Amino acid sequence: MTISIMLRSKITIASILLLITIYIVAIAAPLIAPRDPYTINTGALLLPPTKEYPLGTDNLGRDVLSRIIYGARVSVFVPILVVGLIVLIGVPVGLISGYYGGKVDEVIMRITDIVMSFPGVSLAILLAYIAGRGVLSAALALALVGWTSMARVVRGVVMAEKEKDYVAAAKVIGKSDLRIMFEELLPNCYYPILVDAMMRLGTVIIALAGLSFIGVGVQPPEPDWGIIAAEGRKYIFEQPWLAIFPGILIIVTVLAYNMIGDRLRDALDPKLRRELAGVYRAKEEKEKES
């Protein structure tokens, strides 16, 4: 039912196909890219888009198309790593906080409040700078900043579920707290975790591009959409394509993740799922009548 509802939306289908295409391009970059993204060509500096260079060249004569294709590897797959780390940190913390409550919950929530009281990007910049510039430092910094909201989502679900009969039954038969949390309560958190993770991917892509843009994320000459845009900002008026093309890719990728996340949230919500199913049935009946 959930998948069928999602696939009835043309925007959702287009978003899924777009992301699949980007993944394929990123994986097959060595086979697809027309040139080496690192090769400097002093005889082809800042060329506009041509048949030979479809997206032009940068200030070092490197093919922008090839750099964007290779840059998809970092810009798409590193955010998945970041969200994975967020889940690994936030889910156990949320389970413990929601299940035990009391002083344990109070201490954990105060820690999350402290982390969330700082502007997320500013704190990520500070952590990335302390850890050392580079893509792994940026990924770790974003994960250490982003786990709090995931923990709160899981905590909310656990607090609503832990008083139900199936949890009491698990306690009666002698299950440990750890088994109750991961075997009984965690399965009820899958949908909220999935929706939050999908929505967060778009946010992380922007944050990672921002860190690369200001110089604390991916470091030159490694291609990344954020750093390609940063290198092109010096020539934004004379050679705007240097910043425009990677910027467009960042925007459409983030929108695709957000569209899928929105539709997934609607499809997993029981009330909205029934409403959407009714709307689609009415639409199909109307089309049959016409």
- Is 281 a member of any domain? yes
Same structural domain, 231 and 264 = no
Same structural domain, 59 and 143 = yes
Identify residue 36 by its one-letter amino acid code: D
- Is 283 a member of any domain? yes
pLDDT tens digits for 202-221?
Answer: 999 998 888 888 888 888 88
The number of folded domains in the chain is 2
Buried b (16+ CB within 10 A) or exposed e, 180-209: bbeebbbebbebbbebbbbbbbbbbbbbbb
- Is 45 a member of any domain? no
Number of CB atoms found within 10 A of residue 177's CB: 13
Same structural domain, 89 and 117 = yes
Give dist(CA 127, CA 138) in Å, integer.
8
pLDDT at res. 278 = 53
Identify the domain containing residue 107 by its residue range.
8-40+52-247
- Is 122 a member of any domain? yes
Out of 92-96, 120-124, 185-189, pick the least confident. 120-124
pLDDT tens digits for 24-59?
Answer: 999 999 999 999 999 998 888 888 898 999 998 998
Cβ within 8 Å of residue 28, ≥6 positions away: none
Average pLDDT over residues 183-204: 90
With the C-alpha atoms ordered 59, 62, 63, 64, is the resulting torsion angle positive or negative?
negative
- Is 175 a member of any domain? yes
Same structural domain, 125 and 228 = yes
> Domain of 147: which CATH number?
1.10.3720.10
Helix (H, G, I), strand (E, B) or coil at 152: helix
Number of CB atoms found within 10 A of residue 262's CB: 17
Buried b (16+ CB within 10 A) or exposed e, 7-44: ebbeebeebbebbeebeebbeebeeebebebeeebeeb
pLDDT tens digits for 73-102?
Answer: 998 999 999 999 999 999 999 999 999 989
pLDDT tens digits for 235-270?
Answer: 888 888 888 999 999 999 999 999 988 888 877 765
| Residue 136: band (very low, low, confident or very high) from pLDDT cuts 50, 70, 90 | confident
Same structural domain, 129 and 220 = yes
pTM for the model: 0.85
Backbone phi, psi, residue 200, to 5°:
-75, -25
